[in-house]
A and B are shown apart, each in its own frame.
Chain A
Amino acid sequence: QVQLVQSGAEVKKPGASVKVSCKASGYTFTSYDINWVRQATGQGLEWMGWMNPNSGNTGYAQKFQGRVTMTRNTSISTAYMELSSLRSEDTAVYYCARGEYTTHGYYYMDVWGKGTTVTVSS
């Protein structure tokens, strides 16, 4: 079945970087975007950015520009999100989500990973 499997929980110190992976299966990896969305405990959803696995093109929310990098390895159908200069406010669950355009140009995220908990603490 179509699924996104994310890497395990991470604990990082302030100032460090974290790299979360998202492995796709059950569909053609390069045919759909991968988005990253995070959620701090008890808070709402925050969209971080987007990547086209076919071209490698990316787009990042302004808030994360300069700190986030989204990449992929098409040979293993895996997307990555790296966040640098971590601070305590980055403690959150990070989700990858498949993005798709309809024929009429509407975009939605229809398949989600289970999330990766990233804790930033000294």
Chain B
Amino acid sequence: DIQMTQSPSSLSASVGDRVTITCRASQSISSYLNWYQQKPGKAPKLLIYAASSLQSGVPSRFSGSGSGTDFTLTISSLQPEDFATYYCQQSYSTLLFTFGPGTKVDIK
């Protein structure tokens, strides 16, 4: 099974900060990596697919990069509505779409 890890597990940041979250796969997954945002009590929302493709309607301050085993999600200028938990998810291994443990972004 492909294991996903994320770092940090949580971070505190201020509005306007640049935020970077890292996701690592236990084996190469090419660019089969998605990022989701989840707010408390809500369903996850797709932000980035194929490691770097921005989902329609998602603000351009979100960006993704990486391939192989190491990936990053960057928020260029954190906005109040961005305080949430972020999950990476690999789609390389068909029938076993594992998620990372999540990174909680809260207000400093």
Q: Which residues of A contact B50 (CB under 8 A)?
A: 102, 104, 106, 108
Q: How large is the interface on B (under 10, 10 to 19, 20 to 34, 35 or more residues)?
A: 20 to 34
Given contacts A102-B53, A107-B97, 14 further A-B contacts (CB under 8 A): A37-B44, A37-B99, A44-B99, A45-B102, A46-B99, A50-B97, A61-B96, A62-B96, A106-B32, A106-B53, A108-B46, A108-B49, A109-B34, A114-B42
One of A44, A61, A106, A112 near B87 (C-beta < 8 A) = A44
Q: How large is the interface on A (under 10, 10 to 19, 20 to 34, 35 or more residues)?
A: 20 to 34
Complexed CA–CA distance, A106 and B89 (Å): 12
One of B1, B31, B44 near A106 (C-beta < 8 A) = B31
Interface of A, secondary structure class, is strand
Q: Can you list 22 A-B pairs, Cβ within 8 angstroms, ordered by A?
A: A37-B44, A44-B87, A44-B99, A44-B100, A45-B44, A45-B87, A45-B89, A45-B102, A47-B98, A50-B95, A62-B1, A95-B44, A97-B43, A102-B50, A106-B49, A107-B32, A107-B97, A108-B50, A109-B44, A109-B46, A114-B43, A115-B43
